[in-house]
Amino acid sequence: MTYIPRLLRGQSVLLALALLVLFGAWRYDHFLGLFNVLTFLRYNSMFALIALGMCFVIMTGGIDLSVGSTAAMASVVAAYVSPYGLLPGLACGALAGIAVGVLNGLLITQLNILPFIATLASMLAASGLGLLLAGNESISVSYESGFTVIGQGDILGFPIPAWIAIMVFALGSLILNFTSFGRNILAVGGGEDAAHLMGLPVNRVKFIVYVISGLMAGLAGVQLAAQFGAGQPTEGLGWELFAIASVVVGGTLLTGGVGSVGATLSGVLLLGLVFNILNFENGMGFVSLRAHWQSILRGAFLLLVVIVQSRLALRVRRRIRLSAN
Amino acid sequence: MDGPLPLLRMEGMNKRFSGVPALSGASLDIDPGEVHALVGQNGAGKSTLIKILTGAYRKDAGDITFEGRRIEFASPEAAQRGGISTIYQEINLIPYRSVAENIFLGRPYRRFGFLDWPRMNREATELLRRFDVRIDVHEPLFAFNTAIQQMVAIARAVSFDAKLVIMDEPTSSLADNEVEILYGVIRQLRATGISVIFVSHKLDELYEVCDRVTVMRDGRTIATTSMAEISKLELVAAMLGRDMQSVRREGQTSFHGKSHGVHRDLLSADGLVAGTKVKNASVSVSSGEISGLAGLLGSGRTEVARLIFGVDQPDAGTIVMEGRAVKFAEPIDAINRGIGYCSEDRKVEGIVPEMSVRENLTLAILPRLSQWGIVDEVRQQEIVNKFIERLGIKTSGPDQKIRELSGGNQQKVLLARWLCLDPKVLILDEPTRGIDVGGKAEIQMLIRELAEAGLGVLMISSELEEVIEGSDRVFVLRDGRTVADLQREELSEIVVMTAMAHGEGTADGNAA
Amino acid sequence: MAMRLSAVDRDAEPTGTRVLLWLSRYGTILALVLLILFNLAFTRNFATWQTLNINLTQVSTIVIVAIGMTLVIGSGGIDLSVGSLMAIAGALAPLIFLNRIVEFPNIYVGVAFAFVIPVMIAGLFGYLNGWLITRFNVQPIVGTLILFIAGRGIAQSFTDSNQVIFTTPEFQFIGLGRVFGIPIQVLIMTVIVVLAAWTIRRTIFGKQLLAIGGNETAARLAGVRVTRIKRQVYTISGICSGIAGIIVIARNSAADSNLVGLGVELDAIAAVAVGGTLLTGGRAYVFGTLLGALIIQLVRFTLLANGVPDAAALVIKAGLIILAVWLQRRAAS
């Protein structure tokens, strides 16, 4: 009984995901082939990390536009440190992300600047810093130090980035569902005033989610550098909006208060699969479906979700208004 | 000390807001295990008193003793931990979260460092079962009706080991059968020794569940007595500040004279029904007349006005304007038929704070001042000047931001917003609320003048003298129903108060 | 001594407040003047016609988009789809004047249609944004995010993701031509700025729009047709984006749907914020937005001209936004 409502809500995304996988398996020979699956997971784990951070932020009713350029900047930092080894590279990339997260958290909770504007500014700043650090070029990663293992290596035949994403999502789910901090996130997003009256540490919760989001962007940046062998200061443009889209497709309300870590993962995979299937379709050569269909389909998914969500939101609002008047 | 100690004693409470006294020496005594009604008009100081008790405001002076100890809570949360929980009118829970979670948010059960959901769900179910509420506590709160949501709020309070539960108009959005459930819970609380402060304006329910009542007026405690020893009429009189002996006094307001001659029926609403607040309301307005709409708080006055103006849609009932049935889908439709509506909440529904006096004053008339969408600034200025002068609006100039004006002057600007449209019917919801004495008199005089000039006015007011002296005809609402339609000749305070108290507006005036 | 100190203290507080208020009102102009003075002193060849034209040309499309954004933000919303709508208009225009859709009898008819149709289509998509937002009560950020994502794909589908290169002077005068030495796009920008400022100040639409942004409930009760006005605002923003899209492709002699208008929504929002329009709605400083865009452009130019890398301009832009918003916030409270 316990999680039936939550499971149901996740299921529509999961269902769409399953249908898409079945469709791909039926239509393309190598769709479920090891190579495709592993490549797909390796590449998308980067976006999964960012989407997880975004999911936490959005559940408090905020937004973080800075994740894409933070990832780009972190990739540069990680690339510079990569000659010293895997751990230093990883740590410094993550720290770069955390720094931006701390900045966001301070601007939003201390100066009371709207999350949209605060993170817009830090997005510009992170992007500028990344470019300055890298001198407008890609920074090659050291291949001798073992740094690239974190992006290109496997454990038990499974890509390390995917392991990381799975672990992070499991941890995220644990935090959200089984710690006070996780429940406070949803409470703050679901009704800030009520949360305040209940004595929840509203500002602290907000601050921490932005730091988490920064950390996730930093880890994604490390992945970016390790997978593609270079710190890339010009990458990351528009990542934030695709992350928002996957979070929303995953059923998390942008107004905050409702969300699921698992469904966010489904959202990322769903949007990623659309791209993957289009690649196969082109490979088959029957119809020339270009990459642009990917964005149109992603937009269509988002539209669908938004309309469905607006129904739910309307229902809730009616109830709330009834009790408010 | 001998005798049973009161659970709570508040004495000599003082509080001022920017110099204006909200409480002057108010007091409140609550015994253990009693249900205590707290009543009073708007601005009587009830909510200030409660907010000081629960730590939302700081007192200026006074003593609070709770369970024999002097206390002063720093925040509602501290009060909650100290044993005083408040069930707010707009339920302060989190709609998307489950019932169990709403009960335990802020101090959950843990096992091995992680949240112990099975235990929380079990205890939440148990807790609610004590109040005879059997629901699936895994469901999100919004899936349940308001009464259940209130039960959840009460369960949360009880789970905090509350000794005192404050309920602020808990029945205002409940259906009749839901109210019964709530009564059951309140009696349950009393039986377990928990005290309840019950703020409400529905007299019947006070007599139904409360043991004692404290009446407040103008920041003071007027009376505390057992419910059995005070009649409804006496209670209404105490709230409104009327002396039973001299209820016929006149001349306190600036409404002088009554209108004369034959009046055309302009607007009538018949049998309006909407939600739980409006059950069967009928009012009508004639040209050149002021129709008063009286009733205690929560009787559905504002809701009726909103239905007429097309802000909300009625579930049933008809509205007839100048002989034709009308249906207004949006306020603009009502405006185009010649109706204006000054809402009760100036800040939220009236002014656009960042805009100038000029823009605020002409907001509704703009379409008529424009040709091809371009505003005729000369005519706009003429209108603004004319009404600033005619209503005596005190402002440094039409370009001043409206938020910088005093309440009375803001209200005049909002009146002017409608008057410049030359409407046939003007609905005024608490036109003099929160306005100082001088401003009040001016506005009352103005309303009368306007009626003399042929305008039909529907005036909602909580102030008895304003309604009685100002109106040519008074409709009395009680629990969403029109219970009396009083013509000029029949109007007296005793009759109106009787209608508010007992429902039927006719004679048995000396029920006291 | 003590008395003097306390006297100073007493004066200090109101002075601080006054400085703050003054800065929040005239800070944008002050910043622009300081930037110009700095350049006059330190940047070689600054006071030339050419420098002016370069800066104005580079800023014009951002300003045009930002004006639409100013109106949207004034009504309490936001429009993320502007860049994608630019791409749509930009992809459509060459198809029309290159006779890929219909054969036009002469190039001027084709060019005329190539101006009008894409702008109208962009306006239509803007209306779609407004419809979505008002019909489903969707937050503007989400409502316009849909077209932000899908719009670029739609633009690419027009040209099958290919870049369309052309040399059509009849069309390109809008991006390359000059009248009395002034680039035409700068003239268009000026007209739009003036028109928008006039709309806000003189028309019923402008006043109702600000009333909605300032207090939607009060506006509705005063008879403002909230839904209609909101849809119109997003339509206007779409039209502005369409115009900007056409200018960009004319300037580049190429329509590349992958790049046209990329990231312009952020530039536009930044210009609006630096220009002093609060993102909470109810105010719309059109000239402020123009100044904001100019400042951001001039900072970039100044740094470039003095050998500081372009990237540093981004960091400074971030600082400017925070400073502007913080000033407005402080002054408001």
Return the pLDDT at A31.
Answer: 83
Query: From CA A101, how far away is CA A271, in angstroms rounded?
Result: 26
**Which alpha helices (DSSP H) does chain A contain, by range?**
4-27, 34-59, 67-81, 86-109, 115-134, 149-152, 160-178, 180-190, 192-197, 202-228, 239-249, 261-284, 292-324
Q: Is residue B212's pLDDT more than 90?
A: yes
Q: Do C282 and B352 touch (CB under 8 A)?
A: yes
Greater model confidence, A296 or C190:
C190
Query: From CA B296, how far away is CA B200, in angstroms rounded?
Result: 10
Return the pLDDT at C69.
Answer: 95
Selected residue of C75, C198, C204 to mutate for chain B interface (largest B Cβ count, 10 A):
C204
Q: Is residue A66's pLDDT more than 90?
A: yes
Average per-residue pLDDT for chain A: 85
Q: Is residue B444's pLDDT more than 80?
A: yes
Chain B residues close to A309, C-beta within 8 Å: none
Taking the CA of residue C45 and the nearest CA in chain A, the distance in Å comes to 26
Q: Does C208 touch chain B (CB under 8 A)?
A: yes
Contacts 24+ apart (CB under 8 A), B430-433: B430/B344, B430/B460, B430/B461, B430/B462, B431/B342, B431/B459, B431/B461, B432/B461, B432/B463, B432/B466, B433/B42, B433/B43, B433/B344, B433/B462
Return the pLDDT at B254.
Answer: 55
Average per-residue pLDDT for chain B: 84
Residue of B nearest to C217 (CA): B349
Q: Does C165 touch chain B (CB under 8 A)?
A: no
Q: Does A303 touch chain C (CB under 8 A)?
A: yes
Return the pLDDT at A289.
Answer: 56
Query: Do B439 and B411 meet the contact criterion of CB atoms below 8 Å apart?
Result: yes
Return the pLDDT at A311.
Answer: 73
Q: Is residue A273's pLDDT more than 80?
A: yes
Per-residue tokens: C324: 């502007």
In the DSSP assignment, the letter for residue A82 is G
Query: From CA C313, how far away is CA C302, in angstroms rounded?
Result: 9
User: Which of C204, C214, C218 minimises the CB distance to B366?
Assistant: C204
The CATH code that applies to domain A4-324 is 1.10.3470
Q: Do A198 and B121 touch (CB under 8 A)?
A: no
User: Which of A107, A123, A132 minimises the CB distance to C309?
Assistant: A132
Per-residue tokens: C39: 């350049």
Chain A residues close to B303, C-beta within 8 Å: 325
Interfacial A residues in 64-93 facing C (CB < 8 Å): 65
SS3 B39: strand
Neighbouring residues of B287: CB distance < 8 A, sequence distance ≥ 6: B263, B264, B266, B424, B454, B455, B456
Range B104-114 average pLDDT: 85
Q: Is residue C152's pLDDT more than 80?
A: yes
Chain C residues close to A108, C-beta within 8 Å: none
Chain A residues close to B105, C-beta within 8 Å: 183-184, 187, 195, 198, 200
Q: Does C41 touch chain B (CB under 8 A)?
A: no
Query: From CA A22, how far away is CA B160, in angstroms rounded?
Result: 52
Range A63-91 average pLDDT: 93
Return the pLDDT at A97.
Answer: 97
Taking the CA of residue C202 and the nearest CA in chain B, the distance in Å comes to 6
Range B149-156 average pLDDT: 86
Q: Is residue A190's pLDDT more than 60?
A: yes
Q: Do A199 and B77 touch (CB under 8 A)?
A: yes
Taking the CA of residue B332 and the nearest CA in chain C, the distance in Å comes to 4
Q: Does A308 touch chain C (CB under 8 A)?
A: no
Chain A residues close to B77, C-beta within 8 Å: 197-199
Chain C residues close to A302, C-beta within 8 Å: 142, 145-146, 149-150
**ipTM of the complex, rounded to two decimals:** 0.80
**Which alpha helices (DSSP H) does C98-225 contain, by range?**
107-135, 140-158, 169-176, 184-202, 204-214, 216-221
Give the CATH number of domain C47-332; options: 1.10.3470, 1.20.1420, 1.10.520, 3.30.460.
Answer: 1.10.3470
Q: Which chains touch C (3 or more CB pairs under 8 A)?
A: A, B
Q: Do A179 and B115 touch (CB under 8 A)?
A: yes
Per-residue confidence band for B442, with pLDDT thresholds at 50, 70 and 90: confident
Q: Do C326 and A113 touch (CB under 8 A)?
A: yes
Range B92-107 average pLDDT: 87
Q: Is residue A324's pLDDT more than 60?
A: no
DSSP letters, A22-41, are HHHHHH-TTTTSHHHHHHHH
Interfacial B residues in 60-79 facing A (CB < 8 Å): 75-78
Residue A139: how many other CB atoms lie within 10 Å: 20
Tens-digit pLDDT profile for residues B30-45: 999 899 999 887 678 8
Per-residue confidence band for C12, with pLDDT thresholds at 50, 70 and 90: very low
Query: Do B403 and B354 meet the contact criterion of CB atoms below 8 Å apart?
Result: yes
Q: Does B108 touch chain A (CB under 8 A)?
A: yes
Range B463-471 average pLDDT: 83
Cα within 13 Å of Cα(B262), Cβ side: 1
Query: From CA A63, how far away is CA A244, in angstroms rounded?
Result: 8
SS3 B374: strand
Taking the CA of residue C200 and the nearest CA in chain B, the distance in Å comes to 10
Q: Is residue C16's pLDDT more than 50?
A: yes
Chain C residues close to B309, C-beta within 8 Å: 221
Per-residue tokens: B223: 């009376």
Chain A residues close to C156, C-beta within 8 Å: 290-292, 295
Q: Is residue A210's pLDDT more than 60?
A: yes
Taking the CA of residue A165 and the nearest CA in chain C, the distance in Å comes to 25
Chain C residues close to B364, C-beta within 8 Å: 222-223
C313 alpha carbon, distance to own chain's centre:
18
Tens-digit pLDDT profile for residues C249-276: 999 888 888 888 888 988 899 899 888 8
Tens-digit pLDDT profile for residues B384-434: 999 998 888 888 889 888 988 877 788 889 999 999 998 999 999 988 876
Highest mean pLDDT among A240-254, B75-89, C97-111, C284-298: C284-298
Per-residue confidence band for A315, with pLDDT thresholds at 50, 70 and 90: low
Query: Do B207 and B228 meet the contact criterion of CB atoms below 8 Å apart?
Result: no
Domain map of chain B by residue range?
8-230, 264-338+424-431+450-512, 344-422
Greater model confidence, B502 or B256:
B502
Which percentage of chain B shows pLDDT scores above 70?
91
Return the pLDDT at B467.
Answer: 85
Q: Is residue A213's pLDDT more than 50?
A: yes
Q: Does C298 touch chain B (CB under 8 A)?
A: no
Query: Do B142 and B126 meet the contact criterion of CB atoms below 8 Å apart?
Result: no
Per-residue confidence band for B249, with pLDDT thresholds at 50, 70 and 90: very low
Using CA atoms, how far residue C104 sits from C169, C174, C266, in Å, is 17, 20, 38
Domain map of chain A by residue range?
4-324
User: Which of C138, C150, C273 minimises the CB distance to A295?
Assistant: C150
Give the CATH number of domain B264-338+424-431+450-512; options: 2.60.120.620, 3.40.50.300, 1.10.3720.10, 3.40.50.1860.
Answer: 3.40.50.300
Tens-digit pLDDT profile for residues C308-330: 887 888 888 888 888 888 887 77
Range B166-171 average pLDDT: 83
Per-residue confidence band for B3, with pLDDT thresholds at 50, 70 and 90: low
Return the pLDDT at B247.
Answer: 47
C265 alpha carbon, distance to own chain's centre:
8
Q: Do A183 and B105 touch (CB under 8 A)?
A: yes
Range A284-289 average pLDDT: 55
Q: Is residue A108's pLDDT more than 90?
A: yes
Q: Does B140 touch chain A (CB under 8 A)?
A: yes
Tens-digit pLDDT profile for residues B16-32: 877 778 889 899 999 99
The CATH code that applies to domain B8-230 is 3.40.50.300
Chain C residues close to B335, C-beta within 8 Å: 223
Chain B residues close to A181, C-beta within 8 Å: none
Give the number of A-B residue pairs with CB atoms closer than 8 Å.
95
Per-residue confidence band for A107, with pLDDT thresholds at 50, 70 and 90: very high
Average per-residue pLDDT for chain C: 86
Taking the CA of residue B312 and the nearest CA in chain C, the distance in Å comes to 11
Query: From CA A244, how far away is CA A294, in angstroms rounded?
Result: 16
Per-residue tokens: A191: 């009704």
Highest mean pLDDT among A281-290, B252-261, B498-507: B498-507
